[in-house]
Structure 1
Amino acid sequence: MLNRLLLTKVDNSPLLVFRVFFGILIALESFGAIATGWVRETLIIPKFTFTFIGFEWLQPLPGNGMYYYFILMGVLGILIAIGYKYRFSIISFTILWLAVYLMQKSSYNNHYYLLALISFLMCFFPANAGLSIDARQNPSLRSNTMFSYVKWIVIAQLFLVYTFASIAKLYGDWLDFSTIEILMQQKKDIPVIGPILQQLWTHKTIGIIGILFDALIIPALLWKPSRKIAFIFSIIFHLSNSLIFQIGIFPYLALAFTVFFFDPKSIRNIFFKDKKVYSDNRIVIPSYRKWLLLGCTLYFLIQLFLPLRHHLIKDDVLWTEEGHRLSWRMMLRSRQGQIKFKVLNKDNGGAYMVSLKDHLTEKQQRKIAAYPDFIWQFSQYLKKQHEIKGENISVYALNSKVSINGKPYKPFIDPKVDLANEDWDHFGHHEWILPSNYGQKERPK
């Protein structure tokens, strides 16, 4: 049964077409990041970059180096699309994209994470076996087949993304549409549709469709009777998201994935009319079968664990943010905060209040007050800056308060804890984050 599911030889048209779309989209993403000013704002202007904790050694290139970095990624995207030196191009892009993803999180986006995962998977797929310069120059690479596991790995990854995204929306602030109201307030200036997005009926429609689409789209695309309707609905849904939220290439990448759900004959009729469809569907046991099963098992266990890990951590992830990233918790909350940092010199007792604008961009200042890992990292940054001067300091977060989804501000960080001398635990709770119910009066028994 498992061999039939994963090791059947099937037509590779969906993979070849997806490779072309994928290469074009990542090239547009890379060049677009320069054109829109994203690279400058996120990686060139900041004096200090909030990396993923543990990857502080990954820093932006000095000067205008990140422009050349993204140009290189764009060129690699083009090479992937045309299938030239594919293996080198996709591995190089994956490394570069993963590095830039880990070196900053001020512009954290689940879609950037998905792009890193898909790039990683594409490193192992024979996506240059046709419709490529590689196959034209080296006929031994040419093939019209692939193992069925290629299709099912992609579909399984998408199923996890959409399913966890749907489940995460089943909480109070989404179900009473208050989260959506806040999101839509940010879009009120969009021509024509801006005022419509402020209506309660619009919020209810978006809220309900958001849950149902994420929960049902993959099963609907897999089931042949509903496939075409699901595809049409996907086009409407993702293009609407692109118009309203302007989230880069993700809506178009999501549409590109649909080639894996249609039968190869349909794909060939659209893109390769002169090609014959492979239909033998033979089971072939490759020499690397055990490694394939081991690798897939390990990969998907990790993909299951990461979105569930917050259940093992104390308090509500919506409050603490511990276990939020890499979990497909998309567009769930709006966070605002306020904070002041006090530095105390342990050697001479001197103290001063930190001016955030001397160290951080405006965007970083908006982030730091609301996210505990940003607060901790900035404390470590201040500690290192003083260590260079030979000074031993403590750092305290004063008047730290956070508002989630427009609710009243609540105390967030314990002002008595020296954050400069606290360790970071990737999979545990940090007691210096005050409880979500901190300050609430205990109900009478």
Structure 2
Amino acid sequence: GRAMPPARPRPRAGLPRARPRPSRRGLASARLWPCWRWRCWAGISAWGGGGIAALRLRLARARPRPRPRPRSRPRLLPGPVEDTGGAAAPAASAAASPARAPPLGSAAAGPEPPVPRSRERTPGHGRPRAGEGHSGVVAGPGPSADSRVPPAGTAQEALLERYRLGSLLGRGGFGRVFAATRISDGAPVAIKRVPRNRVRHWGELPDGTSAPLEVVLLAKVSTGFPGVVQLLEWLELPSCIVMVLERPEQCQDLQRFIRARRFLPEEEARELFRQVLEAVWHCTSCGVLHRDIKPENILVDLDTGQAKLIDFGCGAYLQDTVYTHFAGTLSYSPPEWNDFGWYHGEAATVWSLGILLHQMVCGEHPFKRGRNLSWGQLPLPQRLSQECKDLIRWCLSVNSLDRPALEDLFCDPWMQDIPLP
């Protein structure tokens, strides 16, 4: 007979039956199975959803859509220019080598591409102090007191009847500037166009009219003072702001004026620096801070030698407290802005004036090669007088409290023959 299998021992009463211990491979499979099951289900759902979405897209494309009616858009004047680094090409800086103007309404005269934030110029931020009024009168058409925009076609045609468009003078992140001629008397002018989406700050003219801050600041400082470019008239269109500015017949921006001579003799530099200093003093006395003083924003009349401060697109109301928003050209920003993120208006202006004077007498930016001010005194050419060297180093003091005030610059030994305005 067959051998009987051994009988299994019966568990004792009251004790739980021992379960077989699972292997490690079995544990891993049990843990991974829910995860793989969820992934497979998600993949199938996504595939099905994608197919449905693709089917909907095909049906939507196949469905005929009504074509929009073409809108009659008025041709706009080509416009302005402030360079993307914060510079505005002066209104007549390219008189020696003018570019050919594109036809009105062409793509070349359209809105400019956006500027990177690192190089974007920001318009002024301040507000007028209590008790401070707006001064200056701007001639010509502007927006009505109730901020209604005039009809673009009528305003455009009226402007074209008064001015004959010329060559392109410059372009930048804020628009374009074109040379033009006033038909009534043949006077040369510059026409600057700023797209409305680039106008970030608005102010109020003395008559209560709402206007871009640049127009308001120019109205405060340009009337009756030869050291600041005159605003002849301005116009608000649905898509842009048009400004008509004075333009000397023979002129050049200070940057090109210096490059043509490599550097300026101290006597010539002193005269031009004096005029720029008087223009800055005039602006601050009117409660306006320019915030972008550099050679590209100074126009030199080659016939009279008169220097004119231009481009108030980065300007702001002058305030005693610190500014926490930078506007202008980063290579002219003071050390306190780079280190702490704030600056005082007068101290930052004196810093930019020191860079300007260095460019006049040396022909180059003092820090364009990455010189570190903490290493020691700024090296200057031996041909310069000691008084000129001292003035440059005084203006370029790293500590803002060590820099001179604007009044001190008029009384400096290098400038002592200049009376205080």
The TM-score, its normalising length taken from structure 1, stands at 0.23
Name the larger-Rg structure. Answer: 2
Which structure has greater helix proportion? Answer: 1
The TM-score, its normalising length taken from structure 2, stands at 0.24
